[in-house]
């Protein structure tokens, strides 16, 4: 019986392709067949590049046949969130306003993946301009959770998470502004990591909130996270926020265990609002790490209760500035019946942007407006500094911080769309880390009684991805947690 490569990890695919045990074209075709079989149920992709993916795979095979170096991601089929610029296909941000936009350049992370032998399967669905927590805000369609098709996959990187869990790619790239990698990873049952701000170049990432956005991988396990990070991290002179630091070999950071590691458990994350099932699974995960030699200590992040308010002032203010460029003049949607410049602006933006994007632009414009700047935006920046200080003080007592990723498992479509605040609170455990700027990873730690995945979040000091990877890898190896794979009948 031949191996089902769609269930293999990126690491195993890489090893098999480089050794000649399987052709990259064979692996890629397996994933394209899987997409054809289940995509009408999951709806993870905005577009699938069948011909281009096979051409990339054949190029890898040709290099191997000629004895050339094919790179550390040789033949690994991946998906890309649809706000990462690529010369292939379109870059739409799942928005009507960019429905037909084709980028003339590749994002830096895409260049690096291409150079290392990866195969691109296509673009993945998302909340429009990354504004959302459920992928219900996409202008194209609603991606479904592979573990329960009636539930959301999380957001904004919902397509990126669902495609990994449904075995429609070996790994994917998403972006995380307030939890948009970690939250869908938790709800959809895969591993998601937000690197330190500045660790991965944002050049070629369509901006939402420039001081918060960060590209990161969603994978099937922690070792694949290290492999993906090795590929995309590193200084980029084209991005002024890119850190000029050497990048360690993250695959070499996994071993070593957690003996002597101190894990901070913030009391503010284990209060009212945390679901009982999530609490139980996270406490069990902490016990696994204690049994593996780590010790835990209670820490305090006292300004946590202000994080959601601070985040939604800062991110909307930055979104208001970033999205001003979509005016119908240079590129993007232009309303065909506009009679003058004012109508062009008003009609193009009113039709081009969805309700959630319009809501955030208006909130941000208000927060930046004359007479309100000091009361809202400036004050939010001051509280952000206090949140960062909370983390710095907590890390004086511990090496990493462990929390739930989300307060509950995935919810059903429509459950929170009528109440934006309730939707925003779904990111309450992830937002603070973006305000701080450090790295964080979500790993599956079990399933609810209904079979929905639950995520365990490990956060680290700035530029200390190695510590959270080692902790997550130790937990993954010692816990024995294996999620019951979603059964998606081929169409």
Upstream peptide bond of 156 is cis (omega within 30 degrees of 0): yes
DSSP annotation of 195: P
Q: Rounded to whole angstroms, how far apart are CA atoms 461 and 465? A: 8
Beta bridge partners of 404: 456
Upstream peptide bond of 27 is cis (omega within 30 degrees of 0): no
Tokens 């301009």 label which residue? 129
Extended beta strands in 211-286, E state: 215-219, 262-266
For residue 114, count other CB atoms closer than 10 A to its CB. 18
Helix (H) / strand (E) element for 1: namely none
The catalytic residue among 180, 188, 201, 320 is 180
Beta bridge partners of 78: 120, 171
Radius of gyration of the chain (CA): 21
Beta bridge partners of 194: 440
- Cβ 261 vs Cβ 293: under 8 Å: yes
Q: Rounded to whole angstroms, how far apart are CA atoms 337 and 491? A: 42
The catalytic residue among 81, 96, 220, 281 is 81
Q: Rounded to whole angstroms, how far apart are CA atoms 433 and 387? A: 9
Structure tokens at 274: 């945390």
Q: Dihedral angle at the C-alpha atoms of 439, 443, 445, 449, nearest 10 degrees?
A: 110
81 assigned to active site: yes
The catalytic residue among 134, 156, 320, 448 is 156
Structure tokens at 481: 């947690």
User: How far from 35 is each of 43, 91, 261, 296, 403, CA to CA, in Å?
Assistant: 9, 20, 41, 43, 34
Report the Cα 5 to chain-centroid distance in Å: 23
- Cβ 140 vs Cβ 48: under 8 Å: no
Largest CA distance in the chain: 70
172 assigned to active site: no
DSSP annotation of 377: I
Q: Rounded to whole angstroms, how far apart are CA atoms 439 and 292? A: 22
Helix (H) / strand (E) element for 345: namely helix 341-352
- Cβ 155 vs Cβ 132: under 8 Å: yes
Length of the chain: 491
Q: Is the dihedral of CA 211, 406, 156, 323 positive or negative?
A: negative
Q: Dihedral angle at the C-alpha atoms of 209, 211, 212, 216, nearest 10 degrees?
A: 100
Active site residues: 81, 156, 180
């Amino acid at each position: 019986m031949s191996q089902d490569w769609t269930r293999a990890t990126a690491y195993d695919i890489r090893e098999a392709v480089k050794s000649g045990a399987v052709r990259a074209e064979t692996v890629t075709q397996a994933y394209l067949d899987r997409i054809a079989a289940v995509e009408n149920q999951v709806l993870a992709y905005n577009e699938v590049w069948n011909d281009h993916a096979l051409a990339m795979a054949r190029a890898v095979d040709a290099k191997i046949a000629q004895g050339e170096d094919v790179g550390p991601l040789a033949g690994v089929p991946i998906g890309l969130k649809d706000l990462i610029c690529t010369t292939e296909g379109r870059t739409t941000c799942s928005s009507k306003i960019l429905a037909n936009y084709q980028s003339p350049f590749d994002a830096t992370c895409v260049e690096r993946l291409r150079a290392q032998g990866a195969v691109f399967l296509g673009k993945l669905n998302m909340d429009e301009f990354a504004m959302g927590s459920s992928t219900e805000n996409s202008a194209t369609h609603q991606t479904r959770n592979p573990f329960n098709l009636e539930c959301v996959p999380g957001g904004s990187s919902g397509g990126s998470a669902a495609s990994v869990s449904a075995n429609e790619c070996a790994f994917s790239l998403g972006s995380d502004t307030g939890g948009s990698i970690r939250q869908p990873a938790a709800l959809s049952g895969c591993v998601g990591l937000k690197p330190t701000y500045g660790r991965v170049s944002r050049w070629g990432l369509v901006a939402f909130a420039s001081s918060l956005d960060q590209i990161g991988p969603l994978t099937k396990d922690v070792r694949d996270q290290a492999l993906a990070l090795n590929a995309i991290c590193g200084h980029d002179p084209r991005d002024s926020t890119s850190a000029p630091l050497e990048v360690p070999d993250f695959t070499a950071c996994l071993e070593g265990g957690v003996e002597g590691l101190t894990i901070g458990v913030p009391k503010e994350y284990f209060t009212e609002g945390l679901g009982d099932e999530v609490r139980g699974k996270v406490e069990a995960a902490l016990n696994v790490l204690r049994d593996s030699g780590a010790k835990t200590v209670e820490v305090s992040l006292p300004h946590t209760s202000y994080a959601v308010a601070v985040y939604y002032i800062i991110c909307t203010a930055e979104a208001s500035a970033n999205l001003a460029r979509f005016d119908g003049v240079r590129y993007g949607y232009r309303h065909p019946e506009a009679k003058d410049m004012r109508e062009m602006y008003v009609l193009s933006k009113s039709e081009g942007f969805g309700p959630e994007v319009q809501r955030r632009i208006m909130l941000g414009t208000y927060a930046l407006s004359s007479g309100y700047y000091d009361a809202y935006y400036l004050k939010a920046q001051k509280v952000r500094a206090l949140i960062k200080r909370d983390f710095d003080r907590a890390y004086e007592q511990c090496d990493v911080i462990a929390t739930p990723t989300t307060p509950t498992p995935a919810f059903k479509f429509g459950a929170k769309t009528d109440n934006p605040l309730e939707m925003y609170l779904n990111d309450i455990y992830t937002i603070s880390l973006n305000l701080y700027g450090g790295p964080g990873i979500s790993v599956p730690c079990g399933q609810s009684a209904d079979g929905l995945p639950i995520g365990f979040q490990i956060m680290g000091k700035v530029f200390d991805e190695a510590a959270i990877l080692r902790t997550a890898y130790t937990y993954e190896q010692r816990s024995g947690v294996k999620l019951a794979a979603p059964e998606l009948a081929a169409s």
